[in-house]
Structure 1
Amino acid sequence: ITSDSWIFTDRGMLRIGSLRRGEAPDTFSNREVRVASNPGVAVAREYYYGGVQPVVRVSTDMGLALGGTPVHRVKALVGGRVMWKNMASIRPGDRLLVEYGYGLFGNQHEFAKVYGTPFRYTRKTNSKDVRIPYKITRDLARLLGYLVADGGWSVNSMYLTNEDDAILEDFRATVARRFVTDVATVVDPRTRGTRTAHADSREIVSFLRDYLGISNRAETKSVPEIVLRSGREIQREFLRGLTLDGYVRADGRLVPLTTTSRELAVQVQMMLLNLGIPSVLSSKRIQYEYKEEANRKQESYELAIITDWRKEFLNTIGFTEERKQRAARERLHVPGDTRHGIPVRGADLASLASEKSRVVQSQRLREQLRGLSQRARAGRELSRDSLLWFLDVTSDLADRPAWKRLSELVHRPFVYARVEGTSYGHEEVHDFHVPSNNTFVANGFVSHNTINLSREATVEDVKKAYLLAYDLHCKGITVYRDGSREDQVLNIGVVEAEKPKEVRVEVPPEPAALRPRARPDVITGRTQKILTGYGALYVTVNEDEKGLFEVFAQIGRGGGYTASFTEGIARLVSLCLRSGVPVDEIIDQLEGIRSPRIAVDHGERVYSIPDAIAKAIKRHIGMQKTGVQPPVETFDELGGAVETDIELEKESRDAAELLRKGLNPECPECGKPLVFEEGCVKCHACGYSEC
């Protein structure tokens, strides 16, 4: 991963690039450190410096970003399941897992241990006598938060501007306690009620500016190193002080920080993740006309707490100003948005809701289940509270694979960031070797480290690596043997002294091919009639003692295009069922496929023949438990009517005529719709003609 990536260690929150101690490219060095991992905390035994390499940088809708080599892997949500994806394969719209609540902090509180030397200052004869603290304390951390948010320093004094009496009194008392000097307060003549408290001392200014590195320019402010390297309570108090720059919106959104410093915003977002509070970082262009060009700021940044963690934020950190804290608690009842909720698989939730609806007596509960199902199938994210409620209501279905998948999504410490874009370049990269589980957290993303082997490594060495991973219960590992590829990222620009020796590897025999289970002589099931835009579709779903076994589908006359297409889908579905492919995976692939003609059957839209087959399987599952063999019967209770999409219907009149004749309505040359003119099939797009 790139040098600017934040990692969480027992030495504090660090950029991984800061660990380099002059190592040459493609070098491992012993560097034992405890790091945030998944799950929990793990020990990294080695640090790796890779030099300058090609990198992929990924940005997300949470404002989080990560740069890494194309083969670097991160955890992603794919089809409702958690799996690893390498950076090169990530695309906009993908969901990456962002872990929160590591609870891993440093334990350095003395300034000299963090900054290398004690603070030194040569006083003049008329200098004010003050005392400089030797370590960070909770009240001093809060004071530093005040200064970064609404304060600063001038040549002769540090100051804080605010209108809250309690805040100004806390500032005065902390300065008196830690610096042993007094504070004067003056009224700001430019605003009503705003006052500035200041402590005059060039020694204090030197301590803040030269020693702690606190910037006085808004766009270059950052979290002091001593805070990043300290413990939980120090970081909480600093963040409390920083909320002077925050506010509470009428729609219930809590914004603990607004700033023109991206560095500060990213650091605070990382600190909140460590404390178990995910947030969203957004930016906007500043349109203000500055009187002096030197004061111009290009962008402002805002951190907003994700809806489901608002209460956690107020209990763990909270706004330091009582009026903001009170307003935030009053707005907790406002639902907020679910833009960063849980992206559930619509097929999972719909199948459980359908099955539950058939046994509950309450009409209101059925409507609630239907509404939640419709939201999920429309691709909308669900809040954690909504999904927890759903899992509680359907707890009697906890043995279903779909229920288990949904439960895993909501109970594991992840939020799911949507990828917005990728970019490419060349940067210095770094890595860890974490023997216990090969994972560590960087910028909130769960990253996978690679086992790098020299080109002298044998097949036996690779075997040992995989067996060790198995013994450690790893879900997966990546092993790269130097020289195994002709053009490899690690050696770009390196001249080889000699050709590697040829290595012969015995390839083990391939495992036996997967075969579908045999069909018994007698099998039972149900036949459903579903109205589609192409006529009535009859779908028969059969079961054996192991569950769903096969699907037959028939529409129109035999031998036609539509009939053969339908039969082909049914045969492939049957092959999947007999080969052990989960039925919800089959439904997920077929459901929602659209065609030019739409129908309404049993109160729901049927978009195409594949969509109709998926709905037939879902209705079959929802009606009876797998394995029960009732007599064959027909669904035809509610009826329905064809509902055509007006825009698509204009383009499909000729296609309908071709379908009635059993012909393919798509041009074999370009795939555009064919038309039937003067007794001949033609394509207006490319000029194809069958005559």
Structure 2
Amino acid sequence: TIAPTGTLSLIAGCSSGIEPLFALSYTRNILDGAQMVEVNPHFEAAARKGGFYSEELMRALAEGKHLEDLDAVPDAVKRIFVTAHGITPEWHVRMQAAFQKYTDNAVSKCLAKGTLIPTNKGLIPIEELGFARGDDVFADPISGLKVIGPDGKWHDVTAHYSGGIQRTKIIRLSNGTKIEGTFNHRIMTINGWRRLDELKPGDLVICTRSKIEIGKGEQVLPPLGELRCNAKKVEVPSRMSPRLALLLGMLVADGSLTEKTGAVSLSEKNKRIGELFDQLAEELFGITPRIVVDKRTGVRNHVINSRALCRWCENLIGKGAEGKKVPEQILRGNTEEKLSFIRGLTLDGYVKRGRMVIFEGYALQVVQAVASMLHHLGFAPYIGRKQVSNGKWTYHVEIDQFEGIEEHKRADGSRRRLVETPVEAFCLSLPTNHPEYSNLRYIRRNRPIAVLCSTLDKLGVKYDKDRYLVRVAEIEEGKSEVYDIEVSEVHSYVVDGVITHNTINLPHEATREDVARAFKLAYELGCKGITIYRYGSREEQVLNLVSEERRKEVRGKVGPRPRPTVTRGATIRMLTGCGKLYVTINEDEQGLIEVFVNAGKSGGCVASQNEAIGRLISLGLRSGVDVQAIIKEMREIKCPQPAWQDGELIQSCADAIGRAIELYLRQNGKWESDVQIKSVQFSSPPSQQAGSRSSSISLNEAGMPPECPKCGGPLEFVEGCVVCRNCGYSKCD
């Protein structure tokens, strides 16, 4: 079979290929650990028609008994309904050898982790297109995911595959594009589909240009984070926009981020660029940058001082010459946001021989991501590199035509792309005094498979402007974690403009010698590859026979769902007996997904225990545990050092975390619990009530834990100082 037809056949209720039926009756593991009993409908129909059907017969088959051992079944029926476990390994292999002689598509074809795939949800790394993880694992793709086929139309992604770490071929094309995939991964060449291990330098690969919209704008941005009490007030947008994309592009090109001083700055010698940056900063962050002029060079530095903003920008665009990146929200955004970001990048660009260099620097990931965006914006980008004096490599991306952010950065160069020679060019006639006569004579005499599109333009010959050719420049081998997707109808998809495109079941009783003989026979018969699976060799498998020991209810193992790259949420401050507690609650489209707990100035056990609580809550939320149940359990925990907030008793750190989650749900209109949780409230602070003590309250309000850092005993305020009566510790000493 060809993956994932085995999985699809279960859904369709048909045979998966040449491999015999797994069993006539079996259980199939489905979602959430549930099981479904399957009975072969053809066998059941034959049994009823032949008069030998019975519940006892079906139960015996489900328990793993072979049809040959059941006297109630006629011999003629036994010869027809042979299952995989009833055939010797030798005949499994012989059938494979006969079939594989005429088959060349029998193993999975994958691309390396990190390869950007254009989808209807934007440019997404191939490993994030679904939920497959590990070796040889199929899983569902992202809901509603579509990719662009070679016909330029959207096609549904039906499966996501993880192949683990495998040997790869790394193909570098003449336009700088890099394709890394397994040896048998295929791409479209001018001579048809070719495996990566079949390519040679000089081969022509077909590329396509598409202006189809590949993302949705206004992607959610991360929150700003905690502001210190003396921090400068700053606001950040909650969603991406073309204006923010322009500013981020400018920062990647000529900006700098210094967290130590909190400086977010841009250097320029073009006054109009400085005014634009100031305008964007005021519009997006509510801050007017201060201007520092270098008297020696005349360069103006526009500086915003905010550590929180600096960290926020670093989260989006990275930091350092080699660590810069394109924000995920841009890759998944719409065309306007992508073009705005690229236009901002041209602040570092220049015009070279009529072509626009968009960006040049050490950050290869920026260059590759920008090239991927340009491919699907209708451009034909070129990636170049050069080695500089320090031995490092710099990379740049350039295109024929583009209008940069500065007036003098405009390119309208000639298009020097190779295209397949149209038949019309071989039939064209020109007078001998025509300026293009020599080019036409060369084409008609040599009949080249490809010519420059500029030559065809001059000859007046029409050609497909959205399809061009690039040569294979370099080939090397590597090793990488690989993934693939299954695409409906066309079974191929476009990556950076390039079009890119079986199991023997043995019973549990099979021995090592059986497996060895199968592999040796496959080699002798010239099989291209086989996979052997011994029943029960994995703890979890899709299809199972039901033995008496396994008749007990199967309890599915619960695992956390993957964490999305971007979440949204809020941070809530709570006062506890251990000091100030900052509870950050994040969610995605499916609901709450994680909780982070920061114990303020507290350290040691207080901080570690609260961090552990946050991690366990996050694990529960991602595993589908009801958030209301979590809150109920947290709210029932007490400790000897309660605290007070807004006239309400906070009984412990755990209680505070539960209250923070409940507060977040209430404020966002998501509180639906029928459980009544008792709250202790006071009309006035407890320090004003008879018999109350104020020492723990004072420590709480001071943001300090009530534990002695030396002996762990209780701390108290005595004559304006924090002391421990057990060991004599004093904070004033």
- Name 2:240's counterpart in structure 1: 136
**Cα distance change of structure 1 residues 43 and 380 upon mapping to structure 2, 3 Å threshold:** closer
In structure 1, what is the Cα distance between the partners aligned to 2:448 and 2:470?
A: 15
**Cα distance change of structure 1 residues 123 and 444 upon mapping to structure 2, 3 Å threshold:** same
In structure 1, what is the Cα distance between the partners aligned to 2:529 and 2:157?
A: 23
**In 2, are the aligned partners of 1:5 and 1:443 still within 8 Å (CA)?**
no
> CA shift at 1:92, angstroms?
0.6
Unaligned runs of 5+ in 1: 113-117, 289-296, 393-406, 457-482, 500-691
Give the 3-state SS of the residue equivalent to 1:132 in structure 2.
coil
Query: In the alignment, is residue 238 of structure 1 matched against residue 338 of structure 2?
Result: no
In structure 1, what is the Cα distance between the partners aligned to 2:140 and 2:227?
A: 44
**In 2, are the aligned partners of 1:142 and 1:240 still within 8 Å (CA)?**
yes
- Name 2:464's counterpart in structure 1: 411
Deviations 1:369-402 (A, max 9, x none): 333332684969643243145354xxxxxxxxxx
Counterpart selection for 1:73 from 182, 186, 193: 186
Aligned letter for 2:427? L
Give the 3-state SS of the residue equivalent to 2:345 in structure 1.
helix
Q: 1:250-289 residue pairs with structure 2 within 5 A?
A: 251-287=353-389
Deviations 1:232-261 (A, max 9, x none): 111110000000111012x32221211111
Query: In the alignment, is residue 352 of structure 1 matched against residue 427 of structure 2?
Result: yes
Counterpart selection for 2:255 from 151, 171, 181: 151
In structure 2, what is the Cα distance between the partners aligned to 1:257 and 1:120?
A: 28
**Cα distance change of structure 1 residues 134 and 263 upon mapping to structure 2, 3 Å threshold:** same
Query: In the alignment, is residue 194 of structure 1 matched against residue 262 of structure 2?
Result: no
- Name 2:146's counterpart in structure 1: 34
Aligned letter for 1:73? R
- Name 2:107's counterpart in structure 1: none
**In 2, are the aligned partners of 1:8 and 1:104 still within 8 Å (CA)?**
no
In structure 2, what is the Cα distance between the partners aligned to 1:203 and 1:46?
A: 41
**In 1, are the aligned partners of 2:256 and 2:265 still within 8 Å (CA)?**
yes
Query: In the alignment, is residue 46 of structure 1 matched against residue 149 of structure 2?
Result: no
- Name 2:209's counterpart in structure 1: 100
Deviations 1:423-468 (A, max 9, x none): 22332222111122111112331011xxxx6558xxxxxxxxxxxx
- Name 1:446's counterpart in structure 2: 499
Query: In the alignment, is residue 204 of structure 1 matched against residue 304 of structure 2?
Result: no
**Cα distance change of structure 1 residues 52 and 248 upon mapping to structure 2, 3 Å threshold:** same
Deviations 1:300-356 (A, max 9, x none): 112221x4xx2xxx3xxx20001223xx35xx4xx57x3x433538xx677424xx3
In structure 1, what is the Cα distance between the partners aligned to 2:425 and 2:407?
A: 44
In structure 2, what is the Cα distance between the partners aligned to 1:442 and 1:225?
A: 17
**Cα distance change of structure 1 residues 128 and 373 upon mapping to structure 2, 3 Å threshold:** same
Unaligned runs of 5+ in 2: 1-110, 506-521, 538-733
> CA shift at 1:142, angstroms?
0.3
Deviations 1:117-168 (A, max 9, x none): x414222222111112111111111000000000021232210001111111
In structure 2, what is the Cα distance between the partners aligned to 1:273 and 1:431?
A: 21
Q: 1:385-396 residue pairs with structure 2 within 5 A?
A: 385-390=454-459, 392=461
In structure 2, what is the Cα distance between the partners aligned to 1:197 and 1:300?
A: 26
**Cα distance change of structure 1 residues 285 and 71 upon mapping to structure 2, 3 Å threshold:** same
**In 1, are the aligned partners of 2:439 and 2:455 still within 8 Å (CA)?**
no
**Cα distance change of structure 1 residues 490 and 87 upon mapping to structure 2, 3 Å threshold:** farther
**In 2, are the aligned partners of 1:350 and 1:373 still within 8 Å (CA)?**
no
**Cα distance change of structure 1 residues 207 and 143 upon mapping to structure 2, 3 Å threshold:** same
In structure 1, what is the Cα distance between the partners aligned to 2:201 and 2:483?
A: 25
In structure 2, what is the Cα distance between the partners aligned to 1:30 and 1:498?
A: 24
Aligned letter for 2:322? E
**In 1, are the aligned partners of 2:130 and 2:140 still within 8 Å (CA)?**
no
> CA shift at 1:37, angstroms?
1.7
In structure 2, what is the Cα distance between the partners aligned to 1:120 and 1:138?
A: 19
- Name 1:217's counterpart in structure 2: 320
Counterpart selection for 2:394 from 300, 315, 325: 300
In structure 1, what is the Cα distance between the partners aligned to 2:201 and 2:443?
A: 22
Give the 3-state SS of the residue equivalent to 1:140 in structure 2.
helix
Aligned letter for 1:369? Y
Q: 1:573-592 residue pairs with structure 2 within 5 A?
A: none
**In 1, are the aligned partners of 2:375 and 2:496 still within 8 Å (CA)?**
no
When structure 1 is superposed on structure 2, of 200-209 and 260-269 the one drifting more is 200-209
In structure 2, what is the Cα distance between the partners aligned to 1:42 and 1:208?
A: 35
Aligned-pair Cα RMSD in Å: 2.9
**In 1, are the aligned partners of 2:207 and 2:499 still within 8 Å (CA)?**
yes
**In 2, are the aligned partners of 1:36 and 1:102 still within 8 Å (CA)?**
no
In structure 2, what is the Cα distance between the partners aligned to 1:58 and 1:447?
A: 13
**Cα distance change of structure 1 residues 429 and 245 upon mapping to structure 2, 3 Å threshold:** same
**In 2, are the aligned partners of 1:221 and 1:261 still within 8 Å (CA)?**
yes
> Structure 2 length normalisation: TM-score?
0.51
Query: In the alignment, is residue 161 of structure 1 matched against residue 267 of structure 2?
Result: yes
**Cα distance change of structure 1 residues 23 and 371 upon mapping to structure 2, 3 Å threshold:** closer
Counterpart selection for 1:170 from 276, 279, 283: 276
Query: In the alignment, is residue 16 of structure 1 matched against residue 126 of structure 2?
Result: yes
Deviations 1:506-551 (A, max 9, x none): xxxxxxxxxxxxxxxxxxxxxxxxxxxxxxxxxxxxxxxxxxxxxx
Give the 3-state SS of the residue equivalent to 1:218 in structure 2.
coil
Q: 1:45-64 residue pairs with structure 2 within 5 A?
A: 45-64=158-177
Give the 3-state SS of the residue equivalent to 1:281 in structure 2.
strand
Give the 3-state SS of the residue equivalent to 2:329 in structure 1.
helix
- Name 1:321's counterpart in structure 2: 406
> CA shift at 1:16, angstroms?
0.4
In structure 1, what is the Cα distance between the partners aligned to 2:381 and 2:371?
A: 6
In structure 2, what is the Cα distance between the partners aligned to 1:275 and 1:190?
A: 42
**Cα distance change of structure 1 residues 122 and 455 upon mapping to structure 2, 3 Å threshold:** same
Give the 3-state SS of the residue equivalent to 2:237 in structure 1.
coil
> CA shift at 1:497, angstroms?
6.0
Query: In the alignment, is residue 372 of structure 1 matched against residue 440 of structure 2?
Result: yes
> CA shift at 1:22, angstroms?
5.0
Give the 3-state SS of the residue equivalent to 1:371 in structure 2.
helix
> CA shift at 1:495, angstroms?
6.8
**In 1, are the aligned partners of 2:347 and 2:405 still within 8 Å (CA)?**
yes
**In 1, are the aligned partners of 2:148 and 2:493 still within 8 Å (CA)?**
yes
Aligned letter for 2:205? L
**In 2, are the aligned partners of 1:349 and 1:373 still within 8 Å (CA)?**
no
**Cα distance change of structure 1 residues 280 and 33 upon mapping to structure 2, 3 Å threshold:** same
In structure 1, what is the Cα distance between the partners aligned to 2:526 and 2:132?
A: 28
Deviations 1:410-430 (A, max 9, x none): 315222111012122332222
- Name 1:431's counterpart in structure 2: 484
Aligned letter for 2:126? I
In structure 2, what is the Cα distance between the partners aligned to 1:105 and 1:74?
A: 21
Give the 3-state SS of the residue equivalent to 1:111 in structure 2.
coil
Give the 3-state SS of the residue equivalent to 1:411 in structure 2.
coil
> CA shift at 1:364, angstroms?
2.5
In structure 2, what is the Cα distance between the partners aligned to 1:424 and 1:373?
A: 41
> CA shift at 1:68, angstroms?
1.7
Rg (Cα) greater in structure:
2
- Name 2:218's counterpart in structure 1: 109
- Name 2:200's counterpart in structure 1: 91
Give the 3-state SS of the residue equivalent to 2:325 in structure 1.
coil
